[in-house]
Structure formats: C-alpha cells, structure tokens
Amino acid sequence: MEHTVAGCRAREILDRIGDKWSLQVIAVLGERTKRFTELKREIDGISQRMLTVTLRGLERDGIATRTVYPVVPPRVEYSLTPMGATLMDAASTLVVWAERHLEEIDAARTDYDARQNDVRDEDGRR
C-alpha cells in the first residue's frame, strides 16, 4: 500500500498539531521545561483558555507532561515527552520548508489575486 504522503491516518496528526496553537506550544516547550505563565508570555496572542486547552490535548496524546508542585502559590511545569521531542523534529522539516517558501507563496498569492481582479475588470465590473 504505502502512500508516500497523507493517507487517512495523516489527518490524525494534523488534527493534533494542525490547530492554531499546538505547534507553537511544542516549539516553545522544546527549548526546555516551562511554567504555565512562561508559556503564556512567550506565545504571542494565546489566551489563557487556549493555552490550557492545547496543553491538555498535548498531555492527553503523550506529547507533553504536566507536573504539579503542591506549593503555594501553585507551580505547574510542562515539558515535552521523548515522543514529543521526536514530533518536534519531524515538524521542523515543515517549518524549514515554510521559511524557504513563504516568500514564493506570498508572491503566488499576490499574482493570483491580481489576475482575478483583471478578469473581473474585463467582463465589465458589477
């Protein structure tokens, strides 16, 4: 069988890291173990709620661990599991691709959009 890419199963990881925040959380956690507030501070624009939701998902999937220290004030630390680290490596391939091609993609978009406008102009604007 062996599809080189993206049979039905491939969607399942995208369901996990393809959401708005997972990959960024994984990336930041990849640096080292971090506390909740650290993560929140370092991931620009994430809400408290979504950070919690995302972390729970990663924890559930065995990608991150959550360690609670029973002190006051509460101290909770998150880190990647070994599997999480391998996921980060795998994802980095895509990230590298992104960095290499984002300009090209932006150019393609601009081009495409411009051509769409041309077409709309030709047949008399509505």
Q: Which residues make up the interface to DNA (CB under 7 A)? A: 19-21, 35-38, 45-50, 52-53, 55-56, 66, 73-76
Rg (CA), the chain: 20
Choice between 51 and 88, CB closer to a second copy: 88
The minimum distance between CB 49 and a second copy, in angstroms, equals 18
Which among a second copy, DNA, none contacts residue 75 (Cβ within 5 to 8 A by kind)?
A: DNA
Q: How far is the CB of 58 from DNA (least distance, A)?
A: 12
Closer residue to a second copy (CB): 67 or 97: 97
Among DNA, a second copy, none, partner that 32 touches (CB below 5 to 8 angstroms by kind) = none
Contacts of 61 (CB under 8 A, 6+ apart): 16
Task: Report DSSP state, residue 81.
Answer: -
Q: Which is nearer to DNA, 64 or 88 (CB)?
A: 64
CB within 8 A of 26, min separation 6: which ones? 17, 58, 63, 64, 80, 84, 87, 88, 91
Q: Which residues make up the interface to a second copy (CB under 8 A)? A: 3-14, 16-20, 23-24, 26-27, 30, 44, 59-63, 83, 86-88, 90-99, 101-102, 104-105, 107-109, 111-113
CB 6 within 8 A of CB 61: no
Q: Cα–Cα distance between 14 and 10 in angstroms, integer?
A: 7
SS3 label, residue 69: strand
